[in-house]
């Protein structure tokens, strides 16, 4: 059984998280510049087996797609095109950034770490993946 990979896609950065092979634990992988994402994925997939991509579905409180869906949806289409053998699951990502920021704060991280947007993106991907696995 291959891993699951969560993708918290953003205009500038993409947070990535992966499961273990048994799909029990979600672990932060990294944050990648958006323009380098497919290069990173190509390299990662040469080394690791990933069966499914879990991609955030950006919604507003009224359940309509948010403004960020304008750049997320074309990404998902490109992901399907490049990796047609991989299943793509969409998961509501509302509040993941807020939960990630709160988690970082509660962890006792210093102010500089709490302001690190790349860390927030990576933790958001972990939350996205863990919520899907639960």
* Helices 69-82 and 37-47, packing angle to 10 deg: 40
- State the pLDDT at residue 78: 96
| Model confidence pLDDT, tens digit, residues 33-87 | 999 999 999 999 999 999 999 998 765 556 565 566 677 889 999 999 999 999 9
Mean pLDDT in residue range 124-128: 83
pLDDT of 114 higher than 50: no
- State the pLDDT at residue 118: 59
Contact 94, 59 (CB under 8 A): yes
- State the pLDDT at residue 34: 95
- State the pLDDT at residue 123: 75
Question: What is the maximum alpha-carbon separation in the chain?
Answer: 42
pLDDT of 109 higher than 90: no
pLDDT of 94 higher than 70: no
pLDDT of 111 higher than 80: no
Tell me the C-alpha distance between 2 and 20, whole Å.
Answer: 8
Where do the DSSP E strands lie in the chain?
A: 3-9, 13-19, 26-33, 50-57, 87-92
Fold classified for 3-133: Nucleotidyltransferase; domain 5 (3.30.420)
Predicted TM-score (pTM) of the model is: 0.79
Each domain of the chain, given as residue ranges in start order, spans 3-133
Contact 133, 54 (CB under 8 A): no
How high is the mean pLDDT of the chain? 81
Tell me the C-alpha distance between 104 and 107, whole Å.
Answer: 5
């Amino acid at each position: 059984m291959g891993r699951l990979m969560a993708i918290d896609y953003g205009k500038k950065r993409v947070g990535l998280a992966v499961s273990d092979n048994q799909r029990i634990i979600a672990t932060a992988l990294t944050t990648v510049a958006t323009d380098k994402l497919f290069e990173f994925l190509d390299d990662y997939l040469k080394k690791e087996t990933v069966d499914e991509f879990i991609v955030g579905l950006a919604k507003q409180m009224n359940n309509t797609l948010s403004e960020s869906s304008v750049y997320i949806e074309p990404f998902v289409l490109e992901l399907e095109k490049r990796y047609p053998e991989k299943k793509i699951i969409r998961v509501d990502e509302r509040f993941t950034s807020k939960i990630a920021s709160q988690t970082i704060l509660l962890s006792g991280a210093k102010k500089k770490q709490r302001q690190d947007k790349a860390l927030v993106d990576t933790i958001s991907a972990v939350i996205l993946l863990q919520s899907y696995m639960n």
